[in-house]
Amino acid sequence: MVATDGRPTPKRESPAFDLSTYLKERQVQVEAALDRSLPIIYPETIYEAMRYSLLAGGKRLRPILCIATCELAGGTMEMAMPTACALEMIHTMSLIHDDLPAMDNDDYRRGQLTNHKVYGEDMAILAGDGLLAYAFEYIAAQTKGVPAERVLQVIAWLGHAVGAGGLVGGQVVDLQSEGKLDIQEETLTYIHTHKTGALLESCVVCGGILAGVTNSEMERLSRYAQNIGLAFQIIDDILDITSTQEELGKTAGKDLQAQKVTYPSLWGIETSKAKAQELIEAAKTQLEPFGEKAEPLIALAEFITSRTN
């Protein structure tokens, strides 16, 4: 660009987006909102079990994705927070049930004993059920400043994403595939787009619905989310092989132990890393029309491949 007096105008550099500061701020806000969302009342045991896992830390990636998408599309954090908390409740319940002896049978999660190890299997099942039901109640009862029609759309979308057409379906095929070493890439992709991808996509889609995005914006946001969802799982598979229990906060090497076919077992670690990176680049391309407003979602996509737990 050239100024009217002929001298080049210095390019205005906006300060670089700092993901680490952004994540820390959002994590504190989400943590406080989750803490407020679930008081302990009678019968105390079940509320304590629900809070034990809900407030056990974790990256809080799902609520942050929801809030970031809502803000990108002109909404506010306040509009998105009840749904953001509900997404973390659903994610947490899926971890509690996944860790049960009838499923993955894990003793550690998020650096502490799993829910059933502390409260017993009966309470852990009920804590998961309680969190799932409460997530939907929480969206319906606590979302403010959003047209009721959009809230209904969020509830319908999420109901589908967590049921047999989403997380539950992915978990079913995952369990049925254990010990079968002839699992094809198509089945593996079904498992992960449903078991992991459906909820990550929901975070972005629900944030978009709450803010009232257009159909074409929603298509781009969905493609972004599908790409980061698959990349997230590829990295998860790699970390299961390359990281320690201390780094992961859960038992490492589980996939090999359970004889699970994974992306690294099909493609090798280096090719898996390259594929995850390709997916992240494809995700970022979808955000180009949103310009600077998309910085948090771009940085979150990059975080997925650089994360260590």
Provide the binding-site residues for ligand GRG, judged by CB under 6 A.
58-59, 61, 90-91, 94-95, 97-98, 103, 110, 132, 162, 167-168, 171, 195-196, 236
Nearer to ligand GRG, 202 or 286 (CB): 202
Q: What is the C-alpha to C-alpha distance for residues 254 and 257, in angstroms, rounded to an integer? A: 5
Q: Distance between alpha carbon 85 and the CA centroid of its chain, in Å?
A: 12
CB of 237 to ligand GRG, least distance (A): 9
DSSP notation for 186-248: HHHHHHHIIIIIHHHHHHHHHHHHHHT--HHHHHHHHHHHHHHHHHHHHHHHHHHHHS-HHHH
Nearer to ligand GRG, 26 or 91 (CB): 91
Under 8 Å between Cβ of 127 and 115: yes
CB of 161 to ligand GRG, least distance (A): 9
Specify the 3-state DSSP secondary structure of 175.
helix
Residue whose beta carbon is closest to ligand GRG: 58
Nearer to ligand GRG, 162 or 211 (CB): 162
Nearer to ligand GRG, 56 or 77 (CB): 56
CB of 171 to ligand GRG, least distance (A): 4
Q: What is the C-alpha to C-alpha distance for residues 43 and 84, in angstroms, rounded to an integer? A: 26
Q: From 263, 217, 223, select the one nearest 240 (Cα to Cα).
A: 263
CB of 167 to ligand GRG, least distance (A): 4
CB of 57 to ligand GRG, least distance (A): 7
CB of 296 to ligand GRG, least distance (A): 17
Nearer to ligand GRG, 213 or 234 (CB): 234
Q: From 306, 84, 308, select the one nearest 209 (Cα to Cα).
A: 84
Nearer to ligand GRG, 84 or 146 (CB): 84
Q: From 231, 230, 235, select the one nearest 193 (Cα to Cα).
A: 230
